[in-house]
Chains A and B, each alone.
Chain A
């Protein structure tokens, strides 16, 4: 197990390294877009451009620039081109909003995903199932930014039911915090509710045919107990796996559109702004941040899975 975890960790580091190199290269090959020239403004003199180039080390070879950037990220000293603010600090400041959004949305999508999936499976083929299936497919097919725009326009600007964006810290006012986050939560959760209910439904239908479920029924357990204790419980394992991956992906950049439209000022919005400004230091740091969460949750899922399923551990030692 320890060896497995160690290998997984090494894999994570390699993936993060590769990603950082790719991002760095993408933004360094943009033609005629010297960052020193951009920072020097509209009245740039050659002397000023030279000064900025030297100050920021833009004349160094790319590998050196890359190493410097990475060193600064990990020592917490990286500053952005456009505002000269500490990048790590800005990411820390954005984290409460990002995590509030993602955790809240995750609770919603797990709850409704499981509820709808369960109802759909136990009423398979009936009207409830069909209605929920259509709802789920609509949810999966909805462009997130479109849903957000429509909700924002009709529910906040027209009906004034919700505040139109912004983030209130939980510590400041828990009610206001939730009130400001309701629409973003819904927006982000819709896709996953649809998706999870579909997955759970098909898993449950499969499990219902398994021998041990039939045995349980034969033993005279009532149908509800069978469904909840045996069917639902066993069908949830793949859902939890999926959840690990999706939660990592959402924290790691999947919430960028929702954050931007609702102006939550989280890490995702910081990333979107940085990309619009071609501000490489925050782009590097935020991509690393996002990829870290994706890779971390991938690894956690793997490890949890290996722990739960002894076959995999055996598989490891045999190879």
Chain B
């Protein structure tokens, strides 16, 4: 009997890998929160992807397939009314939280209410629910636009306006269900019970946390949600190790199996050449890195100056500055985004840039260049400042701490916001989340401004607004591709690249099986020991 078991085990090993074991991983910092309603970082989302499941979720797959919304705790995708304002979903019957309490349809409403009570940065996505704004102000009563029936499991959501992205947003961790009695304050130190395959069983904020299998997963939840993988590993222990070089050493020595961050820029080339294909893989992400130019102020109110800057910025130089961790690009949409069509509107040409500046002959040549203090962004800023000097401007560099940077440059009363470094990450692959907040006149705000160029072209704005109300299809994707080109004609940004991240695992982990989701990065259920 014993011998047979061993043979079976070996056979399994050869074909599909080993089940069980403890995965040790390192993070460079503790996530902002281990609380699904509050967390708004890649660190937090990776950590909670397989713990807190929303009504809908994203497919566990690499690349474009991973951007697909699939049913989570709900039986199927929502039934959307013809006017696009009503969403109907039904909760699976028999779901349980990891502590054994049944999951109820009304938990969805209490979860959304908790989101608003916590003043979470995620409220942005759900403010379109009828009654949500009122609830945000008063924090009392209930959100009238959400109706739930615990007996039948039915959930109905009414929106004030049709939205082309609400399905995507229902699949974000912000609305992953937690029990109704979860206190409306951060639960990072004592995370709520899980609905997914892994429950967080201990958390020591600042130092680390660990997972074990959710006992209810095998009993009930897994059967009800067959599209969600159960995971191969039994236990996961995450430790915060600030020094990323140490993390690389730990993986090389087998002391840890995985690191969340990419290897530090200093060791990136070394790790890549030694381990690419066996333990290391470069992964795409949905973002664009760029230099923004304030179109409301001289000299960047002149289209010719902005286009000249686009010709002057050399993505190849920035690829080196980012130690190969960006892929040079000169457009707004990144690869992997529906509507992405590669084009190079301003191939690097310094002579042409100088000539255009000479033609434009801007009278105001005193410029302040803003950048974030984190390396290599500070270097990117220094490069840009030096480039502007070479073009004949008198450029001054201002460096602001990472945590404060976007708050300072997003405040229109900050003096001298002329131009600077920026990046835009999106939460899910829908181009509406790119153009709406960064390009339209409506998005210019006195504080918390995300349209850093303060661009406002009414004819383009109307097209963005129209598209944002529609469900994304091939026709819409094509229109977004055209928008990308039309906006780059206006040259509000000088985009220079798309950030790549990476998977780096120890030699005993099966790299081929590790999934990189475009939204949640590494999928912990896909890790498996060889």
* Pairing of A with B: yes
Q: Which A residues are closer than 8 A to B by beta carbons?
A: 30-34, 37-49, 51-52, 55, 79, 82-85, 90, 93, 157, 164-166, 260, 263, 265, 270, 276-279
Restricting to B403-436, which residues have a CB under 8 Å from any CB of A? 403-404, 406-408, 410-411, 413-414
A278 touching B411 by the CB < 8 A rule? no
Restricting to B226-250, which residues have a CB under 8 Å from any CB of A? 240-243, 245-246, 249
- Could you write out 15 A-B pairs with CB less than 8 Å apart? A32-B408, A34-B447, A39-B121, A40-B448, A47-B136, A48-B123, A51-B137, A55-B119, A83-B30, A83-B32, A85-B186, A90-B206, A263-B241, A265-B240, A278-B401
B448 touching A37 by the CB < 8 A rule? yes
Question: Given A43-B124, A165-B241, 17 more contacts at CB 8 Å?
Answer: A31-B414, A32-B413, A33-B407, A38-B404, A44-B447, A48-B119, A52-B119, A83-B205, A84-B38, A85-B188, A85-B189, A93-B204, A164-B246, A165-B246, A263-B243, A270-B206, A277-B401
Nearest CB of A to B117, in Å? 9
Q: Report the Cα distance A30→B243, complex, angstroms.
A: 30
A32 touching B243 by the CB < 8 A rule? no
Q: Report the Cα distance A79→B414, complex, angstroms.
A: 29
Given contacts A45-B124, A48-B119, contact A33 B40 (CB under 8 A): no
Q: Which of B125, B189, B242 has the most CB of A within 10 A?
A: B242
Q: Report the Cα distance A47→B401, complex, angstroms.
A: 26
Given contacts A37-B447, A38-B403, A45-B127, contact A82 B246 (CB under 8 A): no
Given contacts A83-B30, A90-B206, contact A48 B136 (CB under 8 A): yes
Q: Report the Cα distance A126→B128, complex, angstroms.
A: 83
Interface membership of B437, Cβ < 8 A: yes
In the complex, which of the residues A46, A157, A164, A265 contacts B206, with contact meaning CB atoms closer than 8 Å? A265
Given contacts A39-B121, A41-B40, contact A84 B401 (CB under 8 A): no
Closest B residue by C-beta to A43: B124
In the complex, which of the residues B32, B121, B137, B245 contacts A44, with contact meaning CB atoms closer than 8 Å? B121
Closest B residue by C-beta to A85: B205
In the complex, which of the residues A41, A79, A82, A165 contacts B242, with contact meaning CB atoms closer than 8 Å? A165
- The interface residues of chain B lying within 8 Å CB-to-CB of A51 are 116, 119, 136-137, 139
Q: Report the Cα distance A157→B121, complex, angstroms.
A: 40
Q: Which of B33, B121, B204, B249 has the most CB of A within 10 A?
A: B121
Q: Report the Cα distance A34→B446, complex, angstroms.
A: 13
B246 touching A83 by the CB < 8 A rule? no
Interface membership of B142, Cβ < 8 A: no
Interface membership of B185, Cβ < 8 A: yes
B404 touching A33 by the CB < 8 A rule? yes
Nearest CB of B to A149, in Å? 11
Q: Report the Cα distance A46→B402, complex, angstroms.
A: 22
In the complex, which of the residues A84, A164, A263, A278 contacts B403, with contact meaning CB atoms closer than 8 Å? A278
A84 touching B413 by the CB < 8 A rule? no
B124 touching A33 by the CB < 8 A rule? no
Interface membership of B154, Cβ < 8 A: no
B403 touching A276 by the CB < 8 A rule? yes
B206 touching A93 by the CB < 8 A rule? yes
Q: Which of B207, B245, B402, B448 has the most CB of A within 10 A?
A: B448
Q: Which B residues are closer than 8 A to A by beta carbons?
A: 30, 32-33, 38, 40, 116, 119, 121, 123-125, 127, 133, 136-137, 139, 185-186, 188-189, 204-207, 240-243, 245-246, 249, 401-404, 406-408, 410-411, 413-414, 437, 445, 447-448, 450
Q: Report the Cα distance A176→B382, complex, angstroms.
A: 43
Nearest CB of A to B171, in Å? 17
A84 touching B33 by the CB < 8 A rule? yes
Name the 7 nearest CB pairs between A and B, nearest first: A41-B121, A84-B186, A43-B124, A44-B448, A32-B411, A164-B246, A263-B242
Nearest CB of B to A18, in Å? 26
- The interface residues of chain B lying within 8 Å CB-to-CB of A165 are 241-243, 246
Closest B residue by C-beta to A260: B242
A166 touching B241 by the CB < 8 A rule? yes
Nearest CB of A to B97, in Å? 22
Nearest CB of A to B185, in Å? 7
Q: Report the Cα distance A279→B403, complex, angstroms.
A: 9
Nearest CB of A to B124, in Å? 4
Nearest CB of A to B468, in Å? 14
Given contacts A31-B414, A40-B448, A265-B207, contact A84 B188 (CB under 8 A): yes
Nearest CB of A to B327, in Å? 23
A47 touching B137 by the CB < 8 A rule? yes
- The interface residues of chain B lying within 8 Å CB-to-CB of A83 are 30, 32-33, 186, 188, 205-206
Nearest CB of B to A160, in Å? 8
- The interface residues of chain A lying within 8 Å CB-to-CB of B403 are 38, 82, 276-279
Given contacts A44-B124, A166-B241, contact A276 B133 (CB under 8 A): no
A48 touching B447 by the CB < 8 A rule? no
Q: Report the Cα distance A42→B450, complex, angstroms.
A: 7
Nearest CB of B to A144, in Å? 17
B243 touching A43 by the CB < 8 A rule? no
- The interface residues of chain A lying within 8 Å CB-to-CB of B448 are 37, 40, 42, 44, 49
In the complex, which of the residues B121, B127, B408, B445 contacts A33, with contact meaning CB atoms closer than 8 Å? B408
In the complex, which of the residues A32, A47, A49, A164 contacts B245, with contact meaning CB atoms closer than 8 Å? A164
Given contacts A44-B448, A83-B186, contact A157 B245 (CB under 8 A): yes
Nearest CB of B to A273, in Å? 8
Q: Report the Cα distance A83→B402, complex, angstroms.
A: 16
A34 touching B137 by the CB < 8 A rule? no
Closest A residue by C-beta to B124: A43
Nearest CB of B to A146, in Å? 16
Nearest CB of B to A96, in Å? 12
Nearest CB of A to B415, in Å? 9
- The interface residues of chain B lying within 8 Å CB-to-CB of A84 are 33, 38, 185-186, 188
Nearest CB of A to B81, in Å? 25
- The interface residues of chain B lying within 8 Å CB-to-CB of A260 are 242
- The interface residues of chain A lying within 8 Å CB-to-CB of B186 are 79, 83-85
- The interface residues of chain A lying within 8 Å CB-to-CB of B408 are 32-33
Closest A residue by C-beta to B240: A265
Closest B residue by C-beta to A56: B119
Given contacts A37-B448, A84-B33, contact A276 B246 (CB under 8 A): no
A48 touching B121 by the CB < 8 A rule? yes
Nearest CB of B to A37, in Å? 5
Q: Report the Cα distance A281→B511, complex, angstroms.
A: 43
Q: Report the Cα distance A278→B373, complex, angstroms.
A: 14
Closest A residue by C-beta to B267: A157
- The interface residues of chain A lying within 8 Å CB-to-CB of B136 are 47-48, 51
Q: Report the Cα distance A84→B403, complex, angstroms.
A: 15
Nearest CB of A to B255, in Å? 10
- The interface residues of chain B lying within 8 Å CB-to-CB of A279 are 403
Q: Report the Cα distance A209→B410, complex, angstroms.
A: 69
Q: Report the Cα distance A41→B403, complex, angstroms.
A: 10
- The interface residues of chain B lying within 8 Å CB-to-CB of A46 are 445
B243 touching A164 by the CB < 8 A rule? yes
